[in-house]
Structures are given as structure tokens and as C-alpha cells.
């Protein structure tokens, strides 16, 4: 498993917009994101933070390349993409329980 926390010093509305668009994409295509086990977004005093647990780092990297980055470009439209100094911190997952999803690791 691969756990990662991404901290972004940008308005939480940026996260809200991305998250809403991803949910719309999922409703249209009926697909889920392969390998994603947990996703939690939260506002912080300086922006927002995303905590995720993936089946592997490779699936995390693939989703960023195939979904997240293209969506950011789409939402930016003709505007240049904002230069945001985000930071990521990987962590070892020692336990994960999602009762409604019948997931216990």
C-alpha cells in the first residue's frame, strides 16, 4: 500500500472545484479510480490537504498522470496553470478499516 499526504498552499475552493469535477466525471463514465482506497480532503489555515491511501505508488502516479494533471489543465482553460508549491509526504500504512466497503487491512 502507498499512503500520501499532499499539502497545497492554495484556496480550498481550488480543491472543491477539482473534487466536484472528478465526481461529475465518475457519474458520467461510471468508473472508479483504480487502486484508490481512501481519499480525504480538508481545509487548512494555509490552503488544503489531501490524504490518500492507494494500493500502490504506481497506481497513484498513473492516476495523477492520467486524471489529475489533465483535469487541472482543462479547468485552467486558456489561462496559464497556477504555479503552486505543493508538498507531498509518503507514509507507511499500518492499518486501514473501511467497514461499508468491506475493507480491512
Q: Cα separation of 7 and 4, whole Å?
A: 10
> What average pLDDT does range 79-103 have in this prediction?
79
Beta bridge mates, 43: 48
Q: Cα separation of 98 and 5, whole Å?
A: 19
The pTM for the full model equals 0.82
Report the CATH number that the domain containing residue 13 is assigned in CATH. Answer: 3.30.70.100
For residue range 26-84, list pLDDT tens digits in order: 776 666 788 999 999 999 999 999 999 999 999 999 998 988 888 888 877 776 666 66
Total domains in the fold of the chain: 1
Distances (CA, A) of 7 to 26, 29, 59, 83: 24, 29, 20, 14
**Domain that residue 92 falls in:** 2-104
Q: Cα separation of 98 and 90, whole Å?
A: 20
Amino acid at each position: 500500500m502507498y499512503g500520501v499526504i499532499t499539502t497545497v498552499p492554495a484556496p480550498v475552493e481550488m480543491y472543491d472545484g477539482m473534487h466536484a469535477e472528478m465526481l461529475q466525471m465518475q457519474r458520467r463514465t461510471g468508473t472508479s479510480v483504480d487502486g484508490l482506497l481512501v481519499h480525504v480532503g480538508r481545509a487548512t489555515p494555509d490552503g488544503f490537504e489531501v490524504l490518500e491511501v492507494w494500493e500502490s505508488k504506481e497506481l497513484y502516479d498513473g492516476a495523477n498522470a492520467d486524471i489529475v494533471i489533465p483535469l487541472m489543465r482543462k479547468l485552467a482553460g486558456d489561462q496559464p496553470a497556477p504555479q503552486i508549491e505543493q508538498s507531498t509526504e509518503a507514509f507507511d500504512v499500518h492499518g486501514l478499516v473501511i467497514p461499508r466497503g468491506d475493507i480491512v487491512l
